[in-house]
Amino acid sequence: MATDSSRSASFLGPEIMALGLLWLGFTLLGALQTQARDPAPKLIPAPPLDRVPLQPDFKDDQFQGKWYVVGVAGNAFKKEEQGQFTMYTTTYELKEDHSYNVTSILLRDQNCDHWIRTFIPSSQPGQFNLGDIKRYFGVQSYIVRVADTDYNQFAIVFFRKVYKNQEYFKTTLYRRNSSASRNPWASPMIISSSRSLLINASMKSERAVPSVSLPPSPSCQPLPRALPQLPQPARTPVREPRDPSRSTAHQLLPRPPYCWSPSFPAK
């Protein structure tokens, strides 16, 4: 009988096994049962952080660089949104204080949008907090947790955000290259991570966390670090009288960068 079972399992193939394991893992990550008779169910509660895997011996220097976001799963996504979003890039630039400058470049409405933010390391290697969080209106907390990565091919990163007293979470699949299958969650590279999700996320849920695969999109170019300075003709500055009743202080404040709003929780 054991031989027959092993033969049957071998017919499934690594991609199908990986997909099944990962879907079950995300079902467990849904946490807390919801009321079955609720006609308008609320968002699936986020799992406690201690039940979310954390990459052992996280190496921030190896994790830095460009990643392609090829799949997302979270409590703010809907299955019918499949096809509305496209693949985008997120680049982690390591700083001397071991924080990251993180830049996401996304093609939306035929325009390339750039989002720049800072991830500050916490006491746990591989877990980060959003820097200068007061700049982001309505965001009360923002935690990033690297669940699993081999640094060279893939990474699975967990995000949890509290926005206007509402808790959102998502799991993002990164790849170092832009080639993605129709179902990136089925890649054999993430079998080990899906198993770790099964082991660590022990809370059960009646609802699976929706996932969205991101197809390739036309590439966007990163912003230049510095624009070339063209010579300007010399001219005498003209000083205008200052009106104390008008303040220009608001013009000096930088516009807060876009930060994973509920309308598009994929940043």
Q: At residue 122, does pLDDT exceed 80?
A: yes
Render pLDDT for 43-81 as a digit per residue (tens, 0 to 9).
888 888 888 889 999 999 999 999 998 888 888 876 665
Contact 154, 162 (CB under 8 A): no
Confidence at 196, pLDDT banded by 50, 70, 90: very low
Query: What is the CATH architecture assignment of 11-33+42-217?
Result: Beta Barrel (2.40)
Q: Which residues contact 32 (CB under 8 A, 6 or more apart)?
A: 44, 45, 203, 205
Residue 17 tokens read as 């096994």
Q: What is the share, in percent, of the chain residues with pLDDT greater than 70?
A: 48
Domain parsing of the chain, residue ranges? 11-33+42-217
Q: What is the share, in percent, of the chain residues with pLDDT greater than 90?
A: 30
Render pLDDT for 28-40 as a digit per residue (tens, 0 to 9).
454 434 434 444 4
Amino acid at 222: P
- How high does pLDDT run on average in the chain? 68
Residue with more model confidence, 9 or 170: 170
Residue with more model confidence, 242 or 116: 116
Contact 86, 97 (CB under 8 A): no
Q: At residue 90, does pLDDT exceed 80?
A: yes
Q: Which residues contact 209 (CB under 8 A, 6 or more apart)?
A: 26, 27, 29, 30, 44, 73, 74, 75, 171
Give the Å distances, CA to CA, from 260 to 170, 175, 196, 202: 10, 20, 26, 27
pLDDT of residue 22: 56
pLDDT of residue 177: 86
